[in-house]
Chains A and B, each alone.
Chain A
């Protein structure tokens, strides 16, 4: 993974001392809350319902064992013993005192971490694929360019006060694990017919109030122009994006208003001035950054698959875990393991305790090269595990409640912190996730259902990415009451699609029953091993609606009773 040199190190420390001074001025009253707000947001500090929340950046989701231990220490010392991994591969601490933030940032800096631009109307943490560099089907590694983009966007003076937040994702696999088309800017890295690394650039995607998949701005762009091209897009957005209405301020609204052709023309005109300028990337810089991501300590000539076969045959739960939680690795004899943070009703999705973090750090060293990844599905990945160690790791993971074999299944629920913590939320997410997990606690049944994503957002800001869930749940406020709107048919990856609303919203206590009826319809109409999303695509949403609302009036009455 990328290691700071002296420059990176100095910059992060200088940022800590600047923020320490800003906090001091806020506490002394020199800064009003209004003036402090964007300063603290650009440093990942939100005021939530009960306390400050600090969102720490995990650039493109990669952590070292040492960094995970520091997160554990912060969770224990400054929070209530846990942290929450987010859908943007970051971590949030929910019970933070403002006075302690400068010291927390200083501790983070000591392990090459920061909270820069994890919030605010600026370029946010760059995200990419969770299996980057280790996936068996990978053509190119997106991480060097993701790191180069991270550096370019960090404390970029021109784009710190954009109309709205700005999210960039990079992908280099056929599967698009990074969901690039739901980002403000999405970039596909691939090899063109001449065998050169080139970029396909999309703009104007996003979820929130107006969910929309992005449109292609440019194709076949040589990788050396990455920074100047992104700069051109951001300058057009910074100058012409709407600032009069925060709900119309994302780049997607500008792209829609201009039309993609005119938007692309504006970008190209701007880029013509920047092309081949000093920000054009050099092979030397690419090689310097890329060298950090080279992992050459793999053992060759693995054996032990016989023992693995025996364990698979002997232990059904382990076999399920290998099927769902283990991903093929580019090096024979290795695999990538996903540790589920969703063991069931008792634990909010993405929550990991300090003790669990410490175990994860230990495992990353004993079963890998001391590296951990965070998936945008809020799970934790150990990227380089020997297949002969899988059974042992699984046993240890089960001992820490991290061994649930449910990746990509109905109970691998993606949820924002919702109304329990977040002051933006209209409704709570976590009790809904918990009630659904409780209703579907039969693991074998959930396995039989196959691939099925369920996403819950507590408000229209869509941190739970509900539009992209095969089943999406959105918390809405009606006359001060919590209600939940349900969509089906959303998908990420190459088949990206936005879910469609099935009808009137539901009360919290109805939700497990609603999910049950959707599943009922699926099981009844499914052909062979069809997945939920394939069934929806084949038969449409009507049969699902009909079953969910088959006795709508009586269910409503019961709910009120």
Chain B
């Protein structure tokens, strides 16, 4: 399985990955759900109801109404959010909501069209794992986390906007 980038103790690192992303098949077709990331839509299909309990990891696509099944999602080991194209920015809001509104605190992984120049924004929105697109050099991509030491606005990774820091001494 290809390596991924994970933020471990605030440090981005390249690590071996133990999960397999399943894109098309329904949960019912699997022998085992160990180490498999299953599409949210398949999980949500009543036909697969019998095996719901065995699924440990789910991938949310931007169109999925994930909030309707939030209780199920929060029982997972891992949630992945799919970027069908790097230009599709819905995943940033999905990640922000999972982290800041629903209290998700396990692995949140970006999958799909995940490229170097988007990684830092993804991290700020709460992703802590990144399956960089297979044709790109992951050792290259990991460099993108180091560009910024300042950010103006709060985000999932740090909710305090800069203006609160600016006035920290005077408050």
Residue of A nearest to B101 (CB): A273
- Nearest chain A CB to B119 CB, angstrom units: 11
A288: interface (CB < 8 Å): yes
Q: Which residues of B contact A14 (CB under 8 A)?
A: 147-150
Taken together as a complex, chains A and B put the C-alpha atoms of A168 and B115 apart, in Å, by 29
Residue of B nearest to A17 (CB): B147
B150 lies within 8 A of A238 (CB): no
Interface residues of A in 202-249 (CB under 8 A from B): 227, 235, 238-239, 243
- Nearest chain B CB to A240 CB, angstrom units: 9
B171 lies within 8 A of A155 (CB): no
**Given that A17-B147, A243-B88, A278-B160 are known contacts, is A158 also in contact with B125, CB under 8 Å in the complex?**
yes
B117 lies within 8 A of A288 (CB): no
Q: Which residues of A contact B93 (CB under 8 A)?
A: 158, 235, 238-239
Q: Specify which of B118, B140, B150, B162 lies most central, judged by the most chain A CB atoms within 10 Å of its CB.
A: B150
Q: Which residues of B contact A7 (CB under 8 A)?
A: 150, 162, 166
A156: interface (CB < 8 Å): yes
Taken together as a complex, chains A and B put the C-alpha atoms of A311 and B51 apart, in Å, by 90
B153 lies within 8 A of A279 (CB): yes
A442: interface (CB < 8 Å): no
A551: interface (CB < 8 Å): no
B163 lies within 8 A of A160 (CB): no
Taken together as a complex, chains A and B put the C-alpha atoms of A361 and B164 apart, in Å, by 35
Taken together as a complex, chains A and B put the C-alpha atoms of A181 and B115 apart, in Å, by 37
A11 lies within 8 A of B167 (CB): no
B121: interface (CB < 8 Å): yes
Interface residues of A in 233-270 (CB under 8 A from B): 235, 238-239, 243
A157: interface (CB < 8 Å): yes
Q: Is the interface of B mostly helix, strand, loop or mixed?
A: loop
A121 lies within 8 A of B163 (CB): no
**Given that A38-B87, A162-B89, A243-B88 are known contacts, is A155 also in contact with B151, CB under 8 Å in the complex?**
yes
B159 lies within 8 A of A11 (CB): no
- Partner of A161 from B86, B120, B155, B162 at Cβ < 8 Å: B86
Taken together as a complex, chains A and B put the C-alpha atoms of A22 and B148 apart, in Å, by 14
B148 lies within 8 A of A238 (CB): no
A159: interface (CB < 8 Å): yes
B170: interface (CB < 8 Å): yes
- Partner of B92 from A17, A153, A160, A163 at Cβ < 8 Å: A160
- Partner of B167 from A10, A227, A243, A288 at Cβ < 8 Å: A288
- Partner of A278 from B122, B164, B167 at Cβ < 8 Å: B164
Interface size class of A (residues with CB under 8 A): 35 or more
Q: Which residues of B contact A444 (CB under 8 A)?
A: none
B18: interface (CB < 8 Å): no
Q: Which residues of A contact B151 (CB under 8 A)?
A: 11, 155, 157
B90 lies within 8 A of A10 (CB): no
A284: interface (CB < 8 Å): yes
**Given that A157-B155, A160-B89 are known contacts, is A11 also in contact with B164, CB under 8 Å in the complex?**
no
Interface residues of B in 93-137 (CB under 8 A from A): 93-94, 96, 101, 115, 117-118, 120-122, 124-125
Residue of A nearest to B87 (CB): A161
Interface residues of A in 152-204 (CB under 8 A from B): 152-163
Q: Specify which of B124, B154, B159 lies most central, judged by the most chain A CB atoms within 10 Å of its CB.
A: B154
Q: Which residues of A contact B140 (CB under 8 A)?
A: 30
Taken together as a complex, chains A and B put the C-alpha atoms of A68 and B122 apart, in Å, by 36
B88 lies within 8 A of A151 (CB): no
Residue of B nearest to A30 (CB): B140
Q: Which residues of A contact B148 (CB under 8 A)?
A: 11, 14, 18, 155
B149 lies within 8 A of A278 (CB): no
Taken together as a complex, chains A and B put the C-alpha atoms of A161 and B89 apart, in Å, by 4
Q: Which residues of A contact B96 (CB under 8 A)?
A: 158, 235
Q: Which residues of B contact A152 (CB under 8 A)?
A: 152-153, 161
- Nearest chain A CB to B57 CB, angstrom units: 23
Contact string against B for A residues 473-495, beta-carbon threshold 8 Å, 1 for contact and 0 otherwise: 00000000000000000000000
- Nearest chain A CB to B97 CB, angstrom units: 8
Interface residues of A in 111-163 (CB under 8 A from B): 121, 148, 151-163
A319: interface (CB < 8 Å): no
Residue of A nearest to B164 (CB): A278
A11 lies within 8 A of B152 (CB): yes
- Nearest chain B CB to A385 CB, angstrom units: 34
Taken together as a complex, chains A and B put the C-alpha atoms of A243 and B61 apart, in Å, by 14
B89 lies within 8 A of A156 (CB): no
A331: interface (CB < 8 Å): no
Residue of B nearest to A273 (CB): B101
Taken together as a complex, chains A and B put the C-alpha atoms of A349 and B162 apart, in Å, by 39
Q: Which residues of A contact B163 (CB under 8 A)?
A: 148, 151, 281-282, 285, 288
**Given that A152-B161, A158-B125, A243-B88 are known contacts, is A285 also in contact with B150, CB under 8 Å in the complex?**
no
B150 lies within 8 A of A156 (CB): no
A157 lies within 8 A of B121 (CB): yes
A35: interface (CB < 8 Å): yes
- Nearest chain A CB to B101 CB, angstrom units: 6
Taken together as a complex, chains A and B put the C-alpha atoms of A157 and B157 apart, in Å, by 11
Taken together as a complex, chains A and B put the C-alpha atoms of A512 and B162 apart, in Å, by 54
Can you list the 5 inter-chain pairs with the closest CB atoms, starting with the nearest? A161-B89, A157-B124, A157-B121, A285-B163, A18-B147
Can you list 19 contacts pairing A with B, beta carbon distance less than 8 Å?
A7-B166, A10-B150, A11-B150, A18-B148, A22-B117, A38-B87, A121-B89, A152-B161, A155-B148, A157-B92, A157-B121, A158-B93, A158-B96, A158-B155, A159-B92, A160-B89, A161-B89, A243-B90, A282-B171
Give 15 new A-B contacts, CB below 8 A, not counting A10-B150, A227-B161.
A11-B148, A11-B152, A22-B117, A151-B152, A152-B153, A156-B155, A157-B155, A161-B92, A238-B90, A243-B90, A273-B101, A278-B154, A278-B160, A285-B167, A288-B163
